[in-house]
Amino acid sequence: MGIFSSIWNKITNHKPAAAPAPAPTAAPAGAAPTAAPASLPPVDVEAVLSGLAASKGGGGNWRTSIVDLLKLLDLDSSLSARKELAEELNVHAGEHGSAEQNIALSKAVWQKLAENGGQVPASLRD
């Protein structure tokens, strides 16, 4: 499992497990049944993280700091973990560990959360 998957799982409170198979829908006579598409409500990422930060006494500057976001989620925030995340999200801004890369990485994480069904304010994605 990649680092982004760990971030997503922590936010959505899902544990890695086999997803249940969707129930088949009725099909016309002689046709094979088809699986119904799963419809999950979007996750309000900012609300989840705000609540987590409040429960931990603040959470640092998780909205703009990738290090603070990873720490808030109890994930590895080391330079090697951030290098791995940068490769995973194809972020190549600045030197590894630089402010430029950390800012780009933070924005890439917010964008990827939004692409995966998270409700993320535009101010965090820009």
pLDDT digits (tens, 9 = 90+) for 36-88: 445 567 889 999 999 999 998 887 899 999 999 999 999 999 999 999 999 99
Amino acid 123: pLDDT: 84
Amino acid 126: pLDDT: 72
Amino acid 56: pLDDT: 87
Query: Quick check: 77 and 67 in contact, CB under 8 A?
Result: yes
Amino acid 74: pLDDT: 94
Residue range 15-26: average pLDDT?
43
Amino acid 31: pLDDT: 57
Residue 47 CB coordination number (10 Å): 10
The torsion of the CA quartet 66, 72, 76, 80, rounded to 10 degrees, works out to 10
Strand 34-35 to 24-25 pairing: antiparallel
Main-chain dihedrals φ then ψ at residue 73, nearest 5 degrees: -90, 10
Q: Report the half-sphere exposure of 86 (CA within 13 A, side-chain side).
A: 23
Element (H, E) at 34: strand 34-35
Amino acid 38: pLDDT: 56
Main-chain dihedrals φ then ψ at residue 44, nearest 5 degrees: -80, 90
